[in-house]
């Protein structure tokens, strides 16, 4: 029973990978770099993006916004006059907890690929399943906030293992929480050797120079 | 294709409900009340439980701890000399993002049901799928932290809709974050009318009197 379940899951992931490769080929053809941005709910993905879109004027960005329901984040970002496409994952029984390659594929026709350099896919807030599903991205970025505690790399290792960059957000709150940045970084590196770790604050803008530099590269 | 996917999901949820009812019958027979505790990663479920276990001496509590990997939280709680049973949801491809009734069923033989009054099930940190899977609980409690923002009831409505109590944690950070407690409460009530909302801080203990009172009832 258990083994069957794993088999079905592996088949589903294989199919997902095939579709993700097709997405990636489409993005490459249009010369668009794609970042898959993941985090726990409330870690600050949208606030980070707001600051990026306000500051990064030499890169043409579009956003693909994944949410179970609603378009709160997409509305926030659209007010900054960038192209935003919404995917809702709720098909009627509570909603999928992640984006998969097929959902992204269905959104490609509505993306202005010819007019952008960078597509940021804001995944559903969740540290488990989004890590399992490639969607056609070049790079994976995860946002971890200092309020979540420094144990997260050990509790959600696949997420940290499959990301190129970890953005440690909300460092403006460091004086008020028990969070050891060095310990968190060490644990993240124990799960993925050499992972890039950037500490910043979407609220104050501290640390964004390095993150913008990274995005430009 | 999409319809088939929904059908499979509905069948799986039906099977889950049947097993959850069997769990509930076992718990009732042992006269044990069961609370299913859910939240986003890092909202403070374990810290809340630490304080409950330290303070609530007139209720015999055991904990069933759900994590993708590892036993960090279980180890923290076991040091308080309460019975803790660990479930890991990782079967080899990244891990399930929630507990289901069958996982809880498999843990029942190792639970000291005859010696406890209350079983707290600490679910995997995730605001989507845990809401879809009953596990045999009497009551559902969700923990939302003030650092996550007041939009969460609108973004993860099923979670708020299926809970009897919302604990708004980390109110010690209210002076340092943009979070309107009344707005969050209003949104939670718009999703589930009459839901109980208790504001507290696992760090300072503020607000715990009401929460302990509620648990005793």
The string of DSSP letters for B39-83 reads ESTTSSHHHHHHHHHHH-TTS-EEEEEEESS--HHHHHHHTTTS-
Which ipTM value was assigned to this complex?
A: 0.90
Instruction: Identify the H or E element spanning B139.
Output: strand B139-145
B121 pLDDT tier (thresholds 50, 70, 90): very high
pTM score above 0.80: yes
Q: What is the CA radius of gyration of chain A?
A: 17
Which residues of chain B have a CB within 8 Å of the CB of A73? 155
Contact A94 B131 (CB under 8 A): yes
Q: Which of B5, B156, B178 sits opposite A68 (nearest CB)?
A: B156
pLDDT level of residue A95 (50, 70, 90 thresholds): confident
- By C-alpha distance, the chain A residue nearest B126 is A126
For B207, other C-beta atoms within 10 Å of its C-beta total 17
Q: Which of A7-11, A77-81, A93-97, B5-9 has the highest mean pLDDT?
A: A77-81
Dmax (CA) for chain B in angstroms is 53
pLDDT in tens, B43-80: 999 999 999 999 988 999 999 999 999 999 999 999 99
Shortest Cα distance, chain B CAs vs residue A31, angstroms: 31
> Going by C-beta distance under 8 Å and a sequence separation of 6 or more, which residues neighbour residue B123?
B36, B37, B38, B39, B66, B98, B99, B130, B135
* Residue B66: closest CA among B115, B12, B20, B135: B135
Model confidence pLDDT, tens digit, residues A29-82 = 999 999 999 999 999 999 999 999 999 889 999 999 999 999 999 999 999 999
- Which B residues 32-51 touch A at CB under 8 Å? 40-42
Question: Is A71 an interface residue toward B (CB < 8 Å)?
Answer: no
Residue in chain B closest to A124 (alpha carbons) equals B128
Q: Which of B179, B128, B130 shows the shortest CA–CA distance to B150?
A: B179
Judge whether residue A118 has pLDDT over 60.
yes
Partner A contacted by B124 (CB < 8 A): yes
Q: Which of A8, A122, A128, A202 to mutate to test the interface with B (most CBs of B within 10 A)?
A: A128
Which of B94, B147, B158 lies closest to A170 in CB terms?
Answer: B147
Contact: B155, A2; criterion CB under 8 Å = no
Under an 8 A CB cutoff, do B152 and A69 touch?
no
How many Å lie between the alpha carbon of B71 and the closest alpha carbon of chain A?
A: 8
Residues of A with Cβ-Cβ distance to B145 under 8 angstroms:
42, 147
Which residues have a Cβ under 8 Å from the Cβ of B97 and sit 6 or more positions away? A97, A126, A128, A129, B68, B89, B124, B126, B128, B129, B130
Tokens of A27: 């993005």
**What 3-state class would DSSP assign to B18?**
helix
Cross-chain Cβ contact A40/B72 below 8 Å: no
Indicate the average pLDDT of chain A: 93
pLDDT digits (tens, 9 = 90+) for B176-198: 999 999 999 999 999 999 999 99
**Closest-CA residue of chain A to B10:** A93
CA distances from A87 to A40, A73, A96, A111, A154 (A): 18, 11, 11, 12, 30
Which candidate, B11, B37, B49, B14, places its Cα nearest to that of B202? B49
Q: What is the 3-state secondary structure (H, E, C) of chain A?
A: CHHHHHHHHHHHHHHHHHHHHHHHHHHHHCCCEEEEEEECCCCCHHHHHHHHHHHCCCCCEEEEEEECCCCHHHHHHHCCCCCEEEEECCCCCCCCCCCCHHHHHHHHHHCCHHHCCEEEEECCCCCCHHHHCCCCCCEEEEEEEHHHCCCHHHHCHHHHHCCCEEEEECHHHHHHCCCCHHHHHHHHHHHCCCCEEEECCCCCCCCHHHHHHHHHC
CA dist A25 and A21 (Å) reads 6
Nearest C-alpha neighbor of A167 from the set A33, A38, A56: A38
Enter the tokens of residue A204: 């104050």
The answer to whether A59 faces chain B, any CB pair under 8 Å, is no
Per-state percent for chain B, helix, strand, coil, to nearest 5? 45, 20, 35
Residue A70 sits at the vertex; the CA angle it makes with A141 and B168, to the nearest 5 degrees, is 75
With CB atoms and an 8 Å threshold, state whether B127 touches A127. Answer: no
Question: Across the interface, do B154 and A72 touch by the CB < 8 Å criterion?
Answer: yes
Q: In Å, how far from its chain's centre is CA A139?
A: 9
């Amino acid at each position: 029973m258990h083994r069957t379940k794993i088999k079905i899951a592996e088949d589903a992931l294989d199919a997902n990978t095939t579709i993700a490769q097709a997405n990636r080929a489409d993005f490459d053809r249009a010369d668009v770099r794609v970042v898959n941005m993941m985090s726990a709910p409330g870690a600050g993905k949208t606030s980070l993006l707001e600051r990026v879109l306000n500051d990064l004027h030499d890169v043409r960005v579009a956003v693909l916004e994944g949410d179970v329901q609603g378009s709160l984040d997409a509305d926030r970002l659209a007010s900054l006059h960038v192209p935003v496409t919404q995917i809702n994952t709720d098909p009627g029984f509570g909603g999928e907890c992640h984006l998969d390659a097929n959902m992204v594929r269905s959104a490609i026709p509505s993306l202005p690929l010819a007019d952008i350099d960078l597509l940021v896919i804001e995944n559903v807030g969740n540290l488990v399943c989004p890590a399992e599903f490639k969607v056609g991205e070049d790079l994976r970025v995860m946002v971890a906030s200092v309020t979540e505690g420094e144990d997260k790399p050990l509790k959600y290792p696949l997420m940290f293992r499959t990301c190129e960059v970890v953005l440690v957000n909300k460092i403006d709150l460091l004086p008020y929480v028990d969070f050891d940045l060095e310990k968190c970084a060490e644990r993240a590196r124990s799960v993925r050797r050499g992972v890039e770790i950037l500490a910043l604050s979407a609220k104050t803008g501290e640390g964004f120079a390095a993150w913008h530099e990274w995005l430009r590269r």
